[in-house]
């Protein structure tokens, strides 16, 4: 019980929200974002503790030719990758979105990952509204094409990873085609 009080005091867990999600007895699609990564997991509650059924991290996208950042295109691809892994493990049925302590802001990175999860054929009980143009990274490409002085250093990581930031939509489509399962 001491751990629960400590987590509540530090604002790490909203237990009212957690109990409400658990009452549905459905697996949860947990999506978390840090400054450098997006992590998505399918978690099932068990009395002995939560059990992770499938997991995907944005760092796994590097092997597919994508530079993992904490942005909308990366989140979408991470969500789609989670759906692919869930299908490979035979996970089916409805799931509920768990965004934790993140505020449900229309069109943010969390919902971009949820959209990728849904677009790859999984059933997620949540309304997901995301700007389609931003999912493919067109807003990043447009900013890079402007050629501001600040822009050169901002996109140096893309250059190091040999990702053409000015044609990010094309790179996005190539990586997406490797992940999305068509059936």
pLDDT in tens, 120-131: 999 998 888 888
> What pLDDT, on a 0 to 100 scale, did the predictor assign at position 22?
76
Beta-sheet strand order (sheet of 123-125): 51-57, 38-44, 28-33, 94-98, 123-125
* Rounded average pLDDT per 10-residue block, the chain, 183 residues: 68 70 84 94 90 96 90 95 96 90 82 94 88 88 73 69 83 92 66
In a domain, 41, yes or no: yes
pLDDT of residue 1: 58
Tell me, yes or no, whether 28 lies in a domain. Answer: yes
% of the chain surpassing 90 pLDDT:
48
Distance CA 30, CA 17 (A): 13
> Where is 28: in which H helix or E strand?
strand 28-33
172: in domain: no
Give the position of tokens 């943010």: 108
CB 79 within 8 A of CB 111: no
Residue with tokens 């790179």: 171
In this prediction, residue 176 carries a pLDDT of: 94
Torsion of Cα atoms, 34 then 39 then 43 then 47, to 10°: -40
CATH number for the domain spanning 97: value is 3.30.420.100
Residue 114 belongs to a domain:
yes
Report if residue 161 sits inside a domain.
no
Residue 147 maps to a domain = no
Per-chain mean pLDDT for the chain = 85
Q: What is the pLDDT of residue 11?
A: 63
Residue 79 placed within a domain: yes
Looking at residue 183, what is its pLDDT? 56
**pTM, two decimal places:** 0.87
Structure tokens at 18: 């957690």
* Total number of domains in the chain: 1
Amino acid 40: pLDDT: 97
- What is the rounded (10 degree) CA torsion for 76, 81, 82, 83? 90
- 157 within a domain of the structure (yes/no): no
Structural domain that includes position 43: 2-131
């Amino acid at each position: 019980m001491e751990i629960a009080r400590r987590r509540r005091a530090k604002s790490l867990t909203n237990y009212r929200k957690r109990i409400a999600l658990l009452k549905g007895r459905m697996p949860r699609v947990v999506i978390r974002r840090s400054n450098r990564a997006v992590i998505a997991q399918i978690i099932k509650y068990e009395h002995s503790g939560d059990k992770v059924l499938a997991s995907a991290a944005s760092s796994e996208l590097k092997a597919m030719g994508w530079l993992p950042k904490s942005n909308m295109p990366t989140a979408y691809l991470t969500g789609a990758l989670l759906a692919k892994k869930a299908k490979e493990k035979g996970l089916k049925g409805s799931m509920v979105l768990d965004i934790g302590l993140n505020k449900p802001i229309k069109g943010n990175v969390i919902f971009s990952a949820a959209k990728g999860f849904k677009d790859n054929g999984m059933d997620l009980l949540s309304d997901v509204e995301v700007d389609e143009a931003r999912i493919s990274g067109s807003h990043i490409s447009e900013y890079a094409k402007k050629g501001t002085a600040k822009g050169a250093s901002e996109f140096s990581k893309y250059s190091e990873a040999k990702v053409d930031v000015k044609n990010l939509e094309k790179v996005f489509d190539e990586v997406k085609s490797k992940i999305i399962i068509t059936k």
